[in-house]
Amino acid sequence: MDNIILARDLQIERKHFFIEYRENERGRFVRITEEAHGRRNSIIIPSTGLEEFARYFQEAATAATTDQPA
């Protein structure tokens, strides 16, 4: 069973996002769940890859806000 360490949620347009930092017997991870039109989709990022994931996500966010290619 997963233990939730930290949980946040946010609404963007018609989508609801749940971001949870969790742990289970295999280790720690982030689960990002998107809910839209009654459907849910999730991705899981192991804690060992969070720093790299965050760096690439930040690059994409910067490109999106400056209209520059990444």
With beta carbons less than 8 A apart as the criterion, state whether 38 and 23 touch.
no
Q: Which of 44, 2, 43 is nearest to 26 (CA)?
A: 2
With beta carbons less than 8 A apart as the criterion, state whether 7 and 20 touch.
yes
User: pLDDT at position 69, please?
Assistant: 62
Number of folded domains that form the chain: 1
**What's the mean pLDDT in 29-42?**
96
Q: Tell me: the pLDDT tens digits for 48-70?
A: 999 999 999 999 999 999 876 65
What is the span of the domain harbouring residue 57? 3-66
Indicate the pTM of the whole model: 0.84
User: pLDDT at position 68, please?
Assistant: 64
The DSSP element (H or E) to which 3 belongs, if any, is strand 3-12
Give me the CATH number covering residue 14: 3.10.450.700
Q: Tell me: the pLDDT tens digits for 41-52?
A: 999 999 999 999
- Distance between alpha carbon 42 and the CA centroid of its chain, in Å? 8
Distance between CA atoms of 26 and 28, rounded to whole angstroms? 7
